[in-house]
Structure 1
């Protein structure tokens, strides 16, 4: 959500106008949102496909077009670290001499009370305590400080000292100037400011193209997030030259093509290795002059006329993909993300998030540690069972979907001209699900990650299966193997015909076990304002924790109702 002040809006719109950008302020209004901060609202009915913001890429701010872009490039600094360093220099060193400063000065990394906007991994211990035991903590370990950003800060400090020594470039005060006399204290204060800037920029950045990568876009960052019904799409040509940002055939591509042709010719005429040539400014200049030829006055006139209109390939657009009604807030989307990701990456959580889950991995581990009789089953599940069950379950789903697709096609009521599904169901959805599963496995690499309750209060297949497994009698447990279980359980031959039993959701013993686990799991929901005198806990922290815990509380209650 935007933390831009209402007092800054006029300055942002003036910057857009000065850059020949176009914001439909006759149809849109920027004002306070019920979600907090500012939002963009429709002054009148607006039809879908209309562009309500158009900006030339020269008016956006990225590391690639910043005042220190050449220094960042020479030191191989890119990505969000480059954007973070560039922003700090632009707003503290170059300031009024910077083309982007009228816009960048409105990007605030402190709240109205002056507190830094920090990710939960860098909250005070009292703030982190609010999220202990939630999926934020147990599934994603998102309360542990990221070493990557600390290393990024150290790199930024070293570069600032290097550039100051070599070019007398001023070191950004309050950000990268570490006083050696009180090193630890100054380091931690500057680190927090650096992290706050990074956190703020990550919540406002847009992926632009191969040259700019992630950049800040005036006005575009004022649209609030909607979890299920966004109204906008962000349009930008991504395939541009990664060295200059130009679309189509630019001087760099011409030079590269020229060198490749020259090297091919050399290879034909010599048996040895051809000398490697370098693309430099002199070569580019000679190629431009040679290929361009003499320019007439008519050519100049044509160029001036072309510059009067924006080249669509050099612009970014915010386009409506829905009709919006007068008075309606116009929403963007950060993606289909749970509150855990929204809070960790963007600094907010939303009530009723349909992508929330409750993670149960640590709660099952507690069960295994309490009772020795469960340990053998846990060992089998972690080493063998989870993999077998997941493969069987995926195959079962695939067969069910293929059967359903066959029935629909034989009916013909939803069949296209060539027998293709017009609603896009079946195979495409299956592939999307498989991609999501692969992403989860790659990111978490643990069977524990598959133990959760979804937003509808439905236990995941692995959750049902493990609960059923733990409630098996000794005789039922032994029947899972084609031969008697050996001391090395991973070598035992599994009777796969027994796997469907684990997927049954009506097992009373499994329901009882899950019900007890869920009741023990519930955390108290923070109510009212945060406790007076709670050091390091801000209103924003308390509100975000309350929303996230309330969501998990509601999910657990839904599941308990299903189980009862």
Structure 2
């Protein structure tokens, strides 16, 4: 996790003030948090709906408003690679001439001892041992270095030297100059610096709009994460022109509409050149008038703006309280409903008792299958046919149950004349997220896990039930016996509910043994890997993640027994 020092607080607040932004420093205090690093606390009671921070989008830092924005655009560099390069140039080449330098210099990509802030995929061999066998390793394969960021680094190096040759732009030597005499060593050093910046910015970036994409927002990045009870919502108008960032009509939209009209004209029967020209002129005049009206309104808004410099809300980002906060309370934002695996891989921290943690059992089932040839036929059918059939049946069954519950809820609400307008959208949003997540998981092994409460997933129960079937029970699963290849056999769907059973003693026994045999790292002081390449932060985060998985296993064993 990136660090902002207490000495940086005044510098950040001054930068925000110089930008004519609105930060409620009379109601909020930035100081050390018990979670580590800095946090934002309420000096007094603050009510729901109040804006803690309002910044003009011109004050945030993105690749699109950086000093090398045009070069990045000309070379089709966008996303996090663009932000990474923009940050590096702004802090090493342009420095004091940059509008954002006093803010950007407070973003540290190494600790106070100079050790780089790296994701686990680029930890040392000793460091990676801390997470071997966890879901971080077996399900997400997140200990393997990502090719994409290495490719991004090489692109950045090539562009830096190209821009130097073509325009005389200084090469950020500490990042992009590779010493030819000790190339391998220097390449590794510069790559790790580049990755450290990317990892740090990833932990502090906000999605702003279609023009700025991900950007750095001063003060907003100091609020700590709370998955279950965040106090804030981040507000920004996303639908803006992706070329200039203007909300509403702009010259780019005028040009696009004009070109669309000209294209449509090709397929419209001609009625005379004069009429066609008149249509084009009318269209252009109309669009230009719309643009002038928009600009006039914007100018009027500017003149009527408050003294604090906040003018058009559409051109601002806001942090707004979702609920009341009490005096002395730390005010939390949320990065989303994310497991410790994702938090550590992308943001560099973990939280104890994370309700979104799971324990992956894929390799443990594979070990059972490797040791017992009797399961081969069942596993072949499950991997090629059974898993898909079961998931489709289970999803249909769950949908029917949810529909019944929804109908009951609607009847109860009608009877009590009570309503909760957000419920349907929340359910739909959660369902969509789960659907997207499932679509991204390609292997049936990825569905074998235990959730935070200690409950095995439906696929885990199904496979355990399947593997403990007797020969007679196995044969009754098929409507056709005999000469057909097992993967071509037709399943008896009436038997599918058996796979969803959670009270099969044989399945429970199999799962209990599997959990007791599962190997997770032991990170007690006497056993934890130490030595070169293992920092206190790495050890602390790994302990939290591993302890969470141990706790999940214990809860599951209690359920099974």
- Judge same fold: TM > 0.5, yes or no: yes
Change (3 A) 1:462 1:532: closer
1:276 aligned residue: none
1:438 aligned residue: 435
How far the C-alpha of 1:553 sits from its partner, in A, is 0.3
Residue-by-residue CA offset, 1:382-430 (whole Å, 9 max, x unaligned): 111111111111222222223333444455655659xxx64665x7666
1:274 aligned residue: none
1:322 aligned residue: 323
How far the C-alpha of 1:441 sits from its partner, in A, is 3.0
Change (3 A) 1:380 1:160: same
CA distance, structure 2, for counterparts of residue 223 and residue 260 of structure 1:
45
Aligned residue runs from structure 1 range 476-491, under 5 A: 476-484=473-481, 486=483, 488-491=485-488
Aligned-residue Cα RMSD (Å) equals: 2.7
1:559 aligned residue: 556
CA distance, structure 1, for counterparts of residue 291 and residue 542 of structure 2:
62
1:67 aligned residue: 67
1:452 aligned residue: 449
Conservation of the 8 A alpha-carbon contact between 1:530 and 1:537: no
CA distance, structure 2, for counterparts of residue 291 and residue 138 of structure 1:
55
CA distance, structure 2, for counterparts of residue 410 and residue 53 of structure 1:
42
Conservation of the 8 A alpha-carbon contact between 2:234 and 2:317: yes
Aligned residue runs from structure 1 range 304-319, under 5 A: 309=309, 310-319=311-320
1:392 aligned residue: 393
CA distance, structure 1, for counterparts of residue 266 and residue 502 of structure 2:
72
Change (3 A) 1:219 1:382: same
CA distance, structure 1, for counterparts of residue 302 and residue 519 of structure 2:
67
Change (3 A) 1:3 1:466: same
2:507 aligned residue: 510
Change (3 A) 1:548 1:35: same
CA distance, structure 2, for counterparts of residue 143 and residue 213 of structure 1:
28
SS of aligned partner of 1:181:
helix
2:358 aligned residue: 357
Number of residues paired by the alignment?
Answer: 544
1:179 aligned residue: 179
Residue-by-residue CA offset, 1:344-372 (whole Å, 9 max, x unaligned): 01000100000000010111011110000
SS of aligned partner of 1:403:
helix
CA distance, structure 2, for counterparts of residue 449 and residue 253 of structure 1:
45
Aligned residue runs from structure 1 range 190-205, under 5 A: 190-205=190-205
1:251 aligned residue: 251
2:220 pairs with 1:223: no
Conservation of the 8 A alpha-carbon contact between 2:127 and 2:529: no
2:531 pairs with 1:534: yes
SS of aligned partner of 1:130:
coil
CA distance, structure 2, for counterparts of residue 246 and residue 412 of structure 1:
43
CA distance, structure 2, for counterparts of residue 541 and residue 325 of structure 1:
33
Conservation of the 8 A alpha-carbon contact between 2:249 and 2:291: no
Aligned residue runs from structure 1 range 395-410, under 5 A: 395-410=396-411
CA distance, structure 2, for counterparts of residue 545 and residue 312 of structure 1:
42
CA distance, structure 2, for counterparts of residue 307 and residue 423 of structure 1:
34
How far the C-alpha of 1:265 sits from its partner, in A, is 5.3
Residue-by-residue CA offset, 1:501-530 (whole Å, 9 max, x unaligned): 111111111111000000111524413499
Aligned residue runs from structure 1 range 485-500, under 5 A: 486=483, 488-500=485-497
Higher mean Cα deviation, 241-250 or 482-491? 482-491
2:274 aligned residue: none
Residue-by-residue CA offset, 1:424-474 (whole Å, 9 max, x unaligned): 65x766644542343233322111111110000001111111111111111
Change (3 A) 1:445 1:266: closer
SS of aligned partner of 1:327:
coil
Residue-by-residue CA offset, 1:221-242 (whole Å, 9 max, x unaligned): 0000001000001111111111
Change (3 A) 1:243 1:481: same
Aligned residue runs from structure 1 range 141-180, under 5 A: 141-180=141-180
Change (3 A) 1:488 1:431: farther
2:109 aligned residue: 109
2:466 pairs with 1:469: yes
SS of aligned partner of 2:181:
coil
How far the C-alpha of 1:475 sits from its partner, in A, is 1.1
Conservation of the 8 A alpha-carbon contact between 2:359 and 2:549: yes
CA distance, structure 2, for counterparts of residue 44 and residue 306 of structure 1:
27
Conservation of the 8 A alpha-carbon contact between 1:357 and 1:555: yes
Change (3 A) 1:265 1:353: same
CA distance, structure 1, for counterparts of residue 340 and residue 69 of structure 2:
35
CA distance, structure 1, for counterparts of residue 393 and residue 236 of structure 2:
43
CA distance, structure 2, for counterparts of residue 487 and residue 128 of structure 1:
47
How far the C-alpha of 1:112 sits from its partner, in A, is 2.3
How far the C-alpha of 1:483 sits from its partner, in A, is 2.6
Conservation of the 8 A alpha-carbon contact between 2:250 and 2:291: no
How far the C-alpha of 1:111 sits from its partner, in A, is 1.5
SS of aligned partner of 1:332:
coil
How far the C-alpha of 1:115 sits from its partner, in A, is 1.1
1:341 aligned residue: 342
CA distance, structure 1, for counterparts of residue 230 and residue 429 of structure 2:
20
